Amino acid sequence: MKFEKGYIYHIYNQGNNREKIFFNRENYWFFLKKVKIHIIPYSYILAWCLPCQIILNLDYE
């Protein structure tokens, strides 16, 4: 995919069949480290959101 300067792109992650992509705290840290290395140096992030049930240790069962 070719990105062009001056445009805004809507990029999102989603598991197959809307399955979870983060299963534990380490998955979040892995993803955020990748964002820091591969995205932040080359672009601006206007807004972002990650599911927070694991980060906050909430249990909805």
Identify the DSSP state of 25.
H
**Global pTM exceeds 0.85:** no
Handedness of CA 53, 35, 9, 13 (dihedral sign): negative
Q: What is the pLDDT of residue 33?
A: 92
pLDDT digits (tens, 9 = 90+) for 4-27: 888 888 877 778 887 888 888 888
Give the C-alpha separation, 7 to 24, whole Å.
Answer: 34
Boundaries of every domain in the chain: 1-61
Average pLDDT over residues 24-51: 86
3-class DSSP state for residue 28? helix
% pLDDT > 90, the chain: 7
